[in-house]
Structure 1
C-alpha cells in the first residue's frame, strides 16, 4: 500500500503541475486578446497619415478642372460660358505689374499652340502674347506665382477651365513644327524650358479663347489666343483674266488657301483651281510652272519644303482632272521671294501665294 502511494505521487503531482500551466496559459491568452482588442479597436477613422494623403490627393485632383479621358482632351468636355467679356485680350495685367512693350506681340490673325496634356493644339485667330514684370515703382517684390494666381482667378471668373498644369514635355515643346510656329512670340511670353505653366480654355457659343500662363523667376508669361474664321479677302480670278495676265506679264499670282502648315487645298479655294483647269483646257498648248511661296513665319527650311508640297498639291489637283502632267512643272521658293512686307499680317497674306508662270 505504501509502495502504491509512492508510485502514484509523481503521477498526481505531474497532472497538477500541468493543470496549473494550462490555467496560466489560458489567463495569458485572454489577457493578450483583451489587450489586442484595446490597442486596435474597430473604427471608421483612417490611421494617422491616411487622411492627410487623401486630402492631398483631393487637393491635387481639384487643381484640374478637366481630366482628359483615355482618348485625350476634347473641347466638348469644356462647358460653354456665357459670362460677359470686355475687349480682347479680355484680362488686364495684375495691379503693380506691367507688360513689357518690347516683348509684346499683338496679331490680328495668326497661329499659336497650346499644350492640352497629351498634345499641342494649334488654333488660328487673334493672338496676344507678353511678358509680365513688376512696376519699377511698385515697391513690391516680384512673384510670378502671385501673378499666376491673380490671372487664374480672373480667368475662372470668366468661365475659364484649367485643362493643364505643370511642365510641358521637353521633347514635344522642342519639336521642329512647334518651335517654328512659336518663334514669332517673344521668349518672355513663353517662359523657359522647365518653367511651370497653366493652360485654360473659355468655350463660347461661337469661338474658343485659349490662355497660357507660365511662371519664371523674373517674369510671368501670358498668351491669349481667340479662334476666329479667316475672312476671305481674295477675289476669284476667272480663266479669261488669268490668260490676260499671263499674256501681259508672263505670270499670275493666286491666293490659294491651304490647311494650316500642310499642303491640303481648302474647299473655299476649289473654285480658283477650277478656273485654272478651265484655262488649261481652253488652251491645250499652254504649259505652266506652278510655283509655291510662303511668308517668313517659322523655319526657312520648313517653309521651303512646304512651298514645294503646296505647288505639287495644285498640280495634282489639275492632273486628277485630266491635264497632261507634261504640261506642268512645280517649284517651291519658300520665303525667299516676298512681294510685300512680312511685318504686317496683310503683307504676310500676299506673300503666301501660288504663282502660275508661262513656260
Structure 2
C-alpha cells in the first residue's frame, strides 16, 4: 500500500515537471517567434532604405527623346497613352511602393492586328533593350496585400491607364541614369494576354503660379482685347474669397490707370451640373466682381456684367484640367 502511494506520488511529480517543462518550452518558442518577427520587421525596414540611386552607374548610351524607346515590333498601346508633364508614380523599392515625380508616360500594351501577344516576347524584348542601354534592374517580384493597402490611396492615378502596383502583379523595375536626361524609372508587368508599361523621367517641381497684377491685366486688355482670370469664389457661391478680392483689387488698379477704359465682365463655368443653375451662378459671379469694382471706386458706367454658364468653353470639357480652365472670368475691352 505504501509502495503504491509512493509510485502515484512520483508519477504526479513527473507529470508536473513535464507540464512545467512544456510551458517553459512554449514560452521560449513564443519568445523566439516574437524575436524572429521583430527581426523580419527590422530587416524589411532596413531593406526599404538600402536603395541608393548613387550606386547605379551613369549610362553613356544615346537613349533619344522621352519616352525614350518604342514598343517591340508587333505590339502597340491599347489606348491613348497617359502622359503628364509633371506627375507622380509609385515604384517598388525593395517591395515598398515609393513615389517619384517628373514627366510621366503610362500605357496598356497589346498586339497589333494580325499579331499574337506573347508575355515572353514582351518581357524579353524589354529586358534585352534596357540592359543594352545601361539600365539596372532593381526589383522583380510582387508587393504584399498589406503594402498595397498602405499606399494605394496616395496614388492619384490608381486604376487609370497602364496602372501598375497591385499585390498580385509580378513587377519588373529598372533605373536608367543619364547625364543628359537625368534619372529614368521604368517598370512593367505582363501576363500572356497584355502588358503594362510606366516610364518616368525624374524632375523637380517648378512653381509656375504668379500673382496677377494690374500691369498684366492692362497689357492683356491692350494687346488681346481681353484678360482671362481665374478668380476664387466660395464653393457654389458668388462670394469672393480673400484671394479673389485681391485679384479684383488689381483689376481696379488697371482701370484707375486708364480712366477711358471700359470693360465687360463675363462669367463662365464648365458643363458639370444643371445648365440653368450654371448660367445663374456665372451671372451672379460676374456681378459680384462688378459690385466689388464699384466699391473700389470704379464708375459703374464703365462696367457691364453677364454670365454665360457653359455656353462658351475655352477648351473641351473632357478632363478635370480642362474643366478648370473653363471656370473663369473674362474681362473684355469695350472701349
State TM-score, norm by structure 1. 0.45
Which protein is bigger by CA-based radius of gyration?
Answer: 1
